[in-house]
Structure 1
Amino acid sequence: MQVVSGPVGRQKVHYEAPPAEYLPPEMDRFLAWMNGPKTMEPALIRAGLGHLWFVTLHPFDDGNGRIARAIGDLLLARADGSPQRFYSLSAQIQRERKAYYDMLERTQKGTLEVTEWLLWFFRMLDEAVNHAHGMLDAVLIKARFWQRQQGTALNARQIRVLNRLLDGFEGKLTTSKWATLAKCSSDTALRDINDLLERGVLQRSESGGRSTSYELKVD
């Protein structure tokens, strides 16, 4: 089994799996290690090694990477000692697909010295946790915002645009952008904005620019 890319006749071999006759005993060893008693490796190192070991054996025609990421997640769940996890290493690896395949190729084509792979694996784990924290913070900010606005009479346009701001609107919110987001005229957008300024929901941004911009008022 080979992992290749490129046109026919000029393919690049990224990885060549072990010969088929070696696969059954190697899979037995892998499963015994996975399901056996805890070894001397720290739990996080075990997760990184399990992922690498399975994807290196490459037992299937397709789906080896997905299964390897699931195995890594399983071993991380065991390391956490909890069935509930609020971060996804698999999702982080998907966000870094190119670097992931480059790292696998360097590791598998070398001497199987795994230090560089484990350092990369831990960095992805750290970024996955940070990403989850960022998402959780955003959810909590949004929930607290709408709790504060209970009883405030807002129209559908205002609710729509405020949700866009809470979800991480990029750039400056101007009257024209409000009109585009809310699908309304500029005059209507300005009335909506002025209403929210009076209520203390929005404030004028202190950043300069040719057009006045607005931002959520932080308590």
Structure 2
Amino acid sequence: MKAFIHQKDNWPEFTWNSNDFLDLLSEARNLQGRLIGKMETLGFDLRNEALLDTLTLDVLKSSEIEGEFLDPDQVRSSIARRLGMEIAGAVDADRSVEGVVEMMLDATQRCFDPLTADRLFDWHAALFPTGRSGMYKITVADWRKDTTGPMQVVSRAMGKERVHFQAPDSNLVEKEMTRFLDWVNNSKIDLVMKAAIAHLWFVTIHPFEDGNGRIIRALTDMLLAQADKSNQRFYSMSAQVRLERKQYYEILEKTQKGNLDITDWIVWFLNCLINALRSTDLILSKVLFKAAFWQKHVDTALNDRQRKLLNRLMDGFDGKLTSSKWAKIAKCSKDSAVRDINDLIEKGILQKEAARGRSTNYELIGLPAGNQVGKGESNS
């Protein structure tokens, strides 16, 4: 019995019923156009701020799907540096962060360049600069070799790994990828549809020993950028996939174990894209809030520590703000942190959160909800 779609006789001749998703495709296209139009009305600085926020979110959430939590400040600083943007509180980034950022920016800023095997190898090498995944040596910048057995696609939810399907044997990968790359570069299909199909097709082949998930999400962003006719990204599919992670693996497994009719997969992908486009209002509201905040407080007396921490709060603070965390980030004493915070409370900028636990938490007055981009952490 041929258990997976790549084992079917007519693989990869996908089929679908357009009537089941034409309305969704139309809605996605409409939302894309409206979003690009809205962003074009913003000034240069605000548009760059929204771009930086979106790319930061995309890199963080793509890595989180794989169970890897990157430092938000390092990601943001790395992206800003590569895009020639000056930001407050910039920090140096680890090589692992730089690699993910390099790949994502190459995919999106050069979205109209052809996709080649060498380009994918460059992305893979950027993800694994030491030639290792964790403690294990892997094949880097080349197709997988399956030296330790068949490649199985596994989700990593809370330590409960689940095998969703088995990829084609490694001796088939080069042929499969040659066919895939020819289709990506030469197919005349609608670009949103191309992104949906390419995502499924690449995941099915799973051409690398590790890093396939992050690479296909970069490739999906590349094709969606082509669909937008813009290399500026203002919505994050990775962030939405992170939210819909359980459903993602469910539809992926169902599709892999079905026939070559991928209608259900396309419906899921379009719904996920629509949700990602709608969620952009949060990013935009945060950018506009930040611009309005600094305009309002242009003459407010603030020290460098206060400006640094306020920018951190508006850029997506990791966890809850306490006086201890303030002191750690600002590299000052606890007493100085308390004085900074009390001064901002007196100026109507900060306020105490409702009492929770043993620590006192502080929040920026008026900050849009959902302003955290990193992983949560307990109070300290």
The answer to whether TM tops 0.5 is yes
Partner of 2:343: 192
**SS of equivalent to 1:38:** coil
Larger relative CO (CA 8 A, sep 6+): 1 or 2? 2
CA shift in 2, pair 1:193/1:116, >3 Å: same
Residue of structure 2 equivalent to 1:109: 257
**Which amino acid in the other structure matches residue 36 of structure 1?**
N
Matched, 1:79 2:230: no
Q: CA deviation at 1:48?
A: 0.4
Identity of aligned residues (%): 47
* Among 186, 192, 199, the residue aligned to 1:36: 186
Instruction: Tell me which structure has the larger Cα radius of gyration.
Output: 1
Cα distance change of structure 1 residues 203 and 50 upon mapping to structure 2, 3 Å threshold: closer
- 1:125 maps to amino acid: L
1:46 aligns with 2:194: yes
Q: Map 1:84-163; keep pairs closer than 5 Å.
A: 84-154=232-302, 159=307
2-structure distance, mates of 1:53, 1:26: 10
1:107-159 alpha-carbon deviations (Å, 9 max, x no partner): 11122432222222223223333344312320221121111111122456765
Q: Partners of 1:161 and 1:214 in 2: how far apart? A: 11
Residue in structure 2 matching 1:216, options 360, 365, 375? 365
Structure 1 residue 168: Cα displacement:
7.2
Identify unmatched segments of 5+ residues in structure 2.
Answer: 1-149, 156-160, 328-333, 355-361, 368-380
Which position in structure 1 is the counterpart of 2:166? 16
- Corresponding residue pairs, total: 203
Q: How does the TM-score come out when normalised to structure 1?
A: 0.67
CA distance in 1, matches of 2:222, 2:302: 45
Q: Residues 133, 92 of structure 1: CA spacing in aligned structure 2 closer, same or farther, 3 A cutoff?
A: same
Task: Tell me, yes or no, if the aligned pair for 1:2 and 1:17 is still in contact at 8 Å.
Answer: yes
Aligned partner of 1:3 among 148, 152, 158: 152
Using structure 2 for the length normalisation, give the TM-score.
0.42
Q: CA deviation at 1:214?
A: 9.1
Which residue, out of 60, 68, 71, partners 2:208? 60
Q: How far has the Cα of 1:101 moved from its partner?
A: 2.4
Change (3 A) 1:33 1:192: same
Larger helix proportion of the pair: 1
Per the TM alignment, residue 32 of structure 1 is displaced from its structure 2 partner at its CA by 1.7
Question: Which secondary structure state, in structure 2, belongs to the residue aligned with residue 15 of structure 1?
Answer: strand
8 A Cα contact 1:202 1:217, kept in partner: no
Q: 1:64 to 1:159 in 2, by over 3 A?
A: closer
* Aligned residue type for 1:133: D
Q: 1:90 & 1:180 partners in 2: Cα distance?
A: 29
1:152 match: secondary structure: coil
State whether residues 167 and 204 of structure 2, in contact with CA within 8 Å, keep that contact through their aligned partners in structure 1.
yes
